[in-house]
Amino acid sequence: MSGKGNETVTHRIAVIGGDGIGPEVISVALDVITAAGADISTTDFDLGGQRYLRDGTVLDDDTLDELRAYDAILLGAVGTPEVPPGVIERGLLLKARFSLDLYVNLRPFTLPDGHSFTVIRENTEGAYAGEGGFLRKGTPHEIATQGSVNTRMGAERVIRYGFELARQRERRHLTLVHKTNVLTFSGDLWERTFNEVAVEYPDVGTAYNHVDAACIHFVEDPHRYEVIVTDNLFGDILTDLGGAISGGIGLAASANLNPDRTSPSLFEPVHGSAPDIAGQGLANPTAAVLSAVLMLEFLGEAECAARVRAACEAAVSHDEVPDIGTDEIAKAIHAGLTDG
Ligand code: NAD
Ligand code: IPM
Ligand code: MN
């Protein structure tokens, strides 16, 4: 519930369970936040690889317009080995990120020792933009290009978001991760923009790491990080690593934000549809639950979000790799709600 006085607001959530373990983890996430008292109404959207195999639908413009009417979108995972790579990933997930202008991909991590840091990944440009194509396809002289698109506007808005977030954190520290030593065009634009915006935030300390070195630091010295801002592809790769060092990919949550709230934001785990474990009750639903927590926070339901987050923290023992499945973890989170 939210609102002033006795007024309450029911948040309208569009739910895309998707493929593989997506529906398994999303059903836990919805159960948990409902049990925690979240005032939501949900509408299921049957989208993803399985829907595509049935009738060829990926994400048409009418459905996209329907999605715009919701307060938020909660997504499990999309993509399945039976569909060629990219059809669903680009046609559904990237189409939503780009069309809804979800330019901030927020991916927070908590290390086993309790240190938290957040990666802010640019979410609408870079190598993901779709620039490029084939020449002489299928011939011995075939050429494939896939350019990285970087605009001053796109870099600046996400960097600015990074400074604003860092300003709210304890150490007030922001690291730019890029590859300026090789990507002398896009890296230069990012670094210049970062340094120019930094002048407006004299209270925020800054650092720069090349992405390859950042991979070392993630494993050996992640404490140096508080907030990181980086481009789309580097952010994708770094955040799977972030999951791996933070107790596993099954714990990693993410928010695709439209900070200007001109369209609904989309919340989803960092992980994919995990076809290797789908349908076996093995998926860890915590990442999906924590993604729903990020959703509740963005919708202004801080209290409910905090209760669910605390229940997840209580359920997760970072010290041991839990040899338990989806149901057991779901039960442990529910128990944490009751205890809390
Ligand atoms: P993946 O994240 O699905 O799986 C990688 C590994 O992590 C697998 O071994 C899997 O079993 C494990 N894993 C993932 N989530 C887990 C969980 N909750 N609990 C326990 N183990 C978990 O990555 P992939 O195999 O490269 O991709 C599979 C499909 O998912 C592809 O089609 C890919 O495009 C898609 N994908 C979708 C999204 C999304 O929709 N947001 C994200 C990433 C990948
Ligand atoms: C992620 C996924 C997506 C990405 C794919 C499925 C398009 O890997 O959200 O991290 O690369 O952004
Ligand atoms: Mn990824």
Say if CB 246 and CB 109 are below 8 A apart.
Answer: yes
- Sequence-ordered list of residues with C-beta below 8 angstroms from that of 158, at least 6 positions apart, any chain: 103, 104, 120, 122, 123, 229
**Residue 164 and residue 10: Cα distance in Å, rounded?**
29
User: Which ligand has the shortest distance to the CA of 244?
Assistant: 1
**CB-based pocket (< 6 A), ligand 2:** 79, 89, 93-94, 236, 270, 272
Residue 268 Cα to ligand 1 middle (Å): 12
Residue 269 Cα to ligand 3 middle (Å): 9
64: left (phi over 0), alpha (psi -120 to 50) or beta: alpha
3-state secondary structure (DSSP) of residue 245: helix
- What is the residue with the minimal CA distance to atom 8 of ligand 2? 236
78 within ligand 1 shell (Cβ under 6 A): yes
What pTM does this model have? 0.97
Pocket test for ligand 2, best of 80, 93, 128 (most atoms within 8 A of CB): 93
- What is the residue with the minimal CA distance to atom 1 of ligand 2? 270
DSSP 8-state assignment for residue 144: E
- Give the other-Cβ count within 10 Å of 163's Cβ: 20
Predicted confidence at residue 323, as pLDDT, reads: 61
DSSP H helical ranges for the chain:
22-35, 49-55, 61-68, 87-88, 95-99, 152-168, 186-198, 211-220, 232-245, 286-298, 302-315, 326-339
**Residue 307 and residue 34: Cα distance in Å, rounded?**
12
186 within ligand 1 shell (Cβ under 6 A): no
276 within ligand 1 shell (Cβ under 6 A): yes
Give which of 254, 269, 246, 253 is closest to 321, Cα–Cα: 246
214 within ligand 1 shell (Cβ under 6 A): no
Give which of 268, 272, 243, 241 is closest to 254, Cα–Cα: 268
Say if CB 172 and CB 140 are below 8 A apart.
Answer: no
Q: Starting at the edge strand that comes first in sequence, how are the strands of the sheet with 72-77 ordered?
A: 40-44, 11-18, 72-77, 265-269, 253-257, 104-110, 116-122, 227-230, 173-178, 205-210
Say if CB 117 and CB 170 are below 8 A apart.
Answer: no
- Per-residue pLDDT of 235-273, as tens digits, reads 999 999 999 999 999 999 999 999 999 999 999 999 999
Residue 5 Cα to ligand 1 middle (Å): 43
**Residue 11 and residue 14: Cα distance in Å, rounded?**
10
**What parts of the chain have a pLDDT lower than 50?**
1-4, 318-321
Taking a 5 Å cut-off on Cβ, the residues next to ion ligand 3 are 236
- Per-residue pLDDT of 60-115, as tens digits, reads 999 999 999 999 999 999 999 999 999 999 999 999 999 999 999 999 999 999 99
Residue 212 Cα to ligand 1 middle (Å): 23
Give me the phi and psi of 210, to 5 degrees please.
-65, 150
Predicted confidence at residue 8, as pLDDT, reads: 75
Predicted confidence at residue 322, as pLDDT, reads: 54
For residue 332, give the amino acid letter: A
Predicted confidence at residue 131, as pLDDT, reads: 98
3-state secondary structure (DSSP) of residue 149: strand
- Give the other-Cβ count within 10 Å of 84's Cβ: 7
Burial grade of 211 (CB within 10 A; 0-12, 13-18, 19 or more): buried
- What is the residue with the minimal CA distance to atom 5 of ligand 2? 89
- What is the residue with the minimal CA distance to atom 6 of ligand 2? 89
Residue 203 Cα to ligand 3 middle (Å): 32
**Residue 278 and residue 24: Cα distance in Å, rounded?**
8
